[in-house]
Amino acid sequence: MKRIGVFTSGGDAPGMNACIRAVVRGAVYHGIEVFGIRRGYSGMIAGDVYKMESHSVSNIVQRGGTILKSARSKEFMTPEGRKKAFDSLNAHGIEGMVAIGGNGTFTGAMIFGNEYGIPTVGAPGTIDNDLYGTDYTIGFDTAVNTALDAIDRIRDTASSHDRIFFIEVMGRDSGYIAVQSGIAGGAELVMVPEVLTPLSEVVETLKQGWSRSKSSSIIVVAEGDEAGSAVEVAEKIKSQVDENADIRVTTLGHTQRGGSPSAYDRILASRLGLGALEGLLGGQKNVMAGIINNELVYTPFEDTIRLPKPISDDLLRMVKILSV
């Protein structure tokens, strides 16, 4: 293999640039030409491809987002779109790819690889930490710390004004950010998509707190919780508690996706980027590079996409115990 491509796709995550840097400099070290593909599958179809050198990735390890940009491509979901992408890669002599992204990115790579035989190895880049085959994904640690910083600040206001705050964090299908930021931030309750949390339990938690003279509370809600958004949950709860209770809502939104990556995310992204590249050069294809128990492993895209990654029961239990 003499030429490879690297691209980012789907939602951006802090640490993606560190991963790109590892792929590019790893390729240079191994004497392989490396090409950056801008805007994911959309840029692949359009031929937005350029050669990268070691200096192309200077001074990016500390930057959030992705220098290769990201986009979602409906055209790539069609056979015609994938044919255009293949022709574009062929025109540049690209023989294999490193894909940095999440579930949707790897689904596209698997289909594309099966149709055209171009081997791809993935690096898990998503703040949700919802991919089977790795303990942590690129961007998750930074997102948790971003959410935690906000929770700490809101806690100050909640305590000062005797308020109940419902704080919504990202996690449409995964409650990892909610659970870890909730534990670290001392939340009274965490609501996640993986576990049914009856509203009666929320009301009971608040009332128990009041009975212990607790004047303020923090409830962390993952955006995909079955009870609805933090705004919806707060409205439902308001009618079931003391009418004088001061209830407020804060939605953290996309602040969790941006910002300079943590040291952990920079190191993780570098390990996964180099691991994906060297796996590709070693003959791996249609797999994701991951770190499990501090060891580099490769998991088939099919398993990464299909198999669930449940939240540890110990973490969920911890929330209840520590809120007493």
pLDDT digits (tens, 9 = 90+) for 144-171: 999 999 999 999 999 999 999 999 999 9
Does the structure show a pLDDT above 90 at 186? yes
**What is the pLDDT, as a whole number, of residue 239?**
85
CA 174 centroid distance within chain: 10
What is the spatial distance between Cα 179 and Cα 166, in angstroms, rounded to a whole number? Answer: 14
State the Cα–Cα distance between residues 37 and 253, nearest whole angstrom: 28
Neighbours of 210 (CB within 10 A): 14
Annotated binding-site positions: 11, 21-25, 72-73, 102-105, 126-128, 155, 163, 170-172, 186-188, 212, 214-216, 223, 248, 254-257
Token readout for 243 is 């009418």
Question: What is the C-alpha R_g of the chain?
Answer: 22
pLDDT in tens, 92-121: 999 999 999 999 999 999 999 999 999 999
Average pLDDT in the chain: 94
Looking at residue 56, the DSSP 8-state letter turns out to be G
Task: Find all residues with CB under 8 Å of 121, minimum gap 6, and list them.
Answer: 96, 97, 98, 99, 276, 277, 279, 280, 284, 285, 287, 288, 289, 298
Alpha carbon separation from 319 to 226, 257, 314 (Å, rounded): 19, 24, 9
pLDDT, position 75: 95
pLDDT at residue number 256: 95
Asked if the model's pLDDT at residue 5 lies above 90, the reply is yes
Distance of CA 235 to the CA centre of its chain: 29
What local confidence, expressed as pLDDT, does residue 210 receive?
85
Q: Which of 251, 256, 273, 249 is nearest to 30 (CA)?
A: 273
Judged against a pLDDT cut of 80, whether residue 59 lies above it is answered with yes
What pLDDT sits at residue 214?
A: 82
Q: How confident is the model at residue 122 (pLDDT cuts 50, 70, 90)?
A: very high
- Work out the average pLDDT over 176-193: 94
pLDDT of the residue at 244: 78
DSSP states along 138-177: BTHHHHHHHHHHHHHHHHHHHHHHTEEEEEEES-SS--HH
**321 band by pLDDT with thresholds 50, 70 and 90:** confident
pLDDT at 132: 97
Q: Give the chain's length.
A: 324
Q: SS3 of 267, please?
A: helix
For helices 140-161 and 176-184, what crossing angle results, to 10°? 50
Cα distance from N-terminal residue to C-terminal residue, the chain: 58
Q: What is the average pLDDT across 5-29?
A: 97
pLDDT average, residue stretch 233-260: 90
Q: Please state whether the predicted TM-score (pTM) of the whole model is above 0.85.
A: yes
- DSSP code at position 72: -
Of 87-91, 135-139, 221-225, the one with minimum mean pLDDT is 221-225
> What pLDDT score was predicted for residue 43?
97
Predicted confidence (pLDDT) per residue in 194-241, tens digit: 988 889 999 998 888 888 888 889 999 999 888 889 999 999 998 888
pLDDT of residue 313: 87
CB 70 within 8 A of CB 113: no
Given the DSSP bridges, would you call strands 246-251 and 163-169 parallel, antiparallel or unpaired? Answer: parallel
* pLDDT for 175 beyond 80: yes
DSSP type of residue 261 = P
Q: Residue 166's closest CA among 53, 245, 274, 268?
A: 245
In the predicted structure, residue 20 carries a pLDDT above the cut 80: yes
Q: Give the catalytic positions in this structure.
A: 128
Q: How confident is the model at residue 320 (pLDDT cuts 50, 70, 90)?
A: confident
